[in-house]
Amino acid sequence: MVVKIENLHKTYKNKVKALNNLSFQVRDGEIFGLLGPNGSGKTTCINCMLALLKYEEGTIEIFNQPMTATSYDIKRNIGVITQNVAVFNVLTVWENIDYFCGLYVADKEERHKLVEEAIQFVALDEFRNFYPHKLSGGLLRRLHIACGIAHKPKLIILDEPTVGVDPQSRNKILEGIKKLNQEGATIIYTSHYMEEVEFLCDYILIMDKGKVIAEGSKEEIKSMIDLGETIEIELTEPNEDIIQDIQKINNVNKVYYKDKLLVVKSGKGKTNIPAVLEILNKHQLEYEKIYSELPTLNDVFLEITGKELRDQ
């Protein structure tokens, strides 16, 4: 087991309980999605895991050893890529990676090899002599990742690594994370982009108010709620009789018309497309296009954690 957290409690001075009996495990070789709305306790959990925060109760083991502030042997095998980019503006791309790698690798020859591999890995070869302020947001993110992974850590923690980057850089980062995992790294990944989590993660934990509220594979998470197919049909405004008829279809939860789309939401089960089309044909209503979509991880996340805005 790479990470084992049991019965973790953390309360801040303002009496806010950030972690409330939190327990979970991260297995060797998996990409573990740690999700939750703002204020759910994700960052507190990571900081406790890295022994940057003290907690009142519970245990944390990494690589089957207790994690403490002085567990330097453990920390050498961890790479952390934070949401806020943290590099030195007075150092070039190559010098930044070399500096951070040097915190773990003393041998200059070995370090030079690792820095070159990291530069190639994030495709920054032509920018090696650039200073950070000359890089775009996407390139800066890739530099940040290179600084965190150059020493070949066994456990990599990525906290919102694609915030504010262009689609090309985002794809490059996601492909890189997959490759790191294929090369043997265990990864803990936090993001508010559910499509990234759905693409990357083997196992997902959703937390809120310091507690685990759902965990499992993508399929297991989706099966926890009664959310099924969503059908959207482009047509001119239907009359109320049509909407009422569709609402009577078995397993249909909600029907509404908005922005020239008739939307039919169903619970789990077989498709309702044939029954909906039969009603439209009965009423001789012409339609342009019809779409059918199964629930996404984003749909499930909102259903489990609620749709209200979280400011902190």
pLDDT digits (tens, 9 = 90+) for 209-252: 999 999 999 889 988 888 889 999 998 878 888 899 999 999 99
**Residue 310: pLDDT band with limits 50, 70, 90:** low
Same domain, 165 and 33: yes
In a domain, 92, yes or no: yes
In a domain, 80, yes or no: yes
Same domain, 92 and 234: no
Indicate if the pLDDT at residue 144 is higher than 90. yes
What tokens were used for 91? 């150092």
Same domain, 120 and 62: yes
Asked if residues 280 and 274 have their Cβ atoms less than 8 Å apart, the reply is no
Same domain, 200 and 275: no
Question: Which range of residues forms the domain containing residue 241?
Answer: 230-294
In a domain, 234, yes or no: yes
- Which backbone phi and psi does 230 adopt, to 5 degrees? -115, 125
In a domain, 310, yes or no: no
Q: What percentage of the chain carries pLDDT values higher than 70?
A: 98
Indicate if the pLDDT at residue 311 is higher than 60. no
Same domain, 50 and 134: yes
Query: CA-to-CA distance for 279 and 287, rounded, in angstroms?
Result: 12
Structural domain count of the chain:
2
pLDDT given at position 308: 59
Same domain, 28 and 137: yes
Indicate if the pLDDT at residue 70 is higher than 80. yes
What tokens were used for 54? 């003290």
- Average pLDDT over every residue of 197-215: 94
User: Pairing state of beta strands 78-81 and 155-159?
Assistant: parallel
Same domain, 195 and 50: yes
pLDDT given at position 165: 82
Same domain, 120 and 192: yes
**Residue 288: pLDDT band with limits 50, 70, 90:** confident
In a domain, 163, yes or no: yes
Same domain, 92 and 123: yes
pLDDT given at position 44: 95
pLDDT given at position 16: 87
**Residue 69: pLDDT band with limits 50, 70, 90:** very high
pLDDT given at position 307: 60
Same domain, 140 and 174: yes
pLDDT digits (tens, 9 = 90+) for 3-37: 999 999 999 988 889 999 999 999 999 999 999 98
pLDDT given at position 164: 79
CATH number at residue 114: 3.40.50.300
Residue 25 exposed, middle or buried by CB count within 10 Å (0-12, 13-18, 19+): middle
What's the chain's average pLDDT? 92
**Residue at a domain's end among 169, 200, 222:** 222
CA geometry: angle 299, 301, 302, nearest 5 deg:
70
Same domain, 65 and 39: yes
Same domain, 164 and 236: no
Indicate if the pLDDT at residue 194 is higher than 60. yes
pLDDT digits (tens, 9 = 90+) for 35-63: 998 889 999 999 999 999 999 999 999 99
CATH number at residue 261: 3.30.70.100
In a domain, 312, yes or no: no
**Residue at a domain's end among 190, 222, 254:** 222
In a domain, 218, yes or no: yes
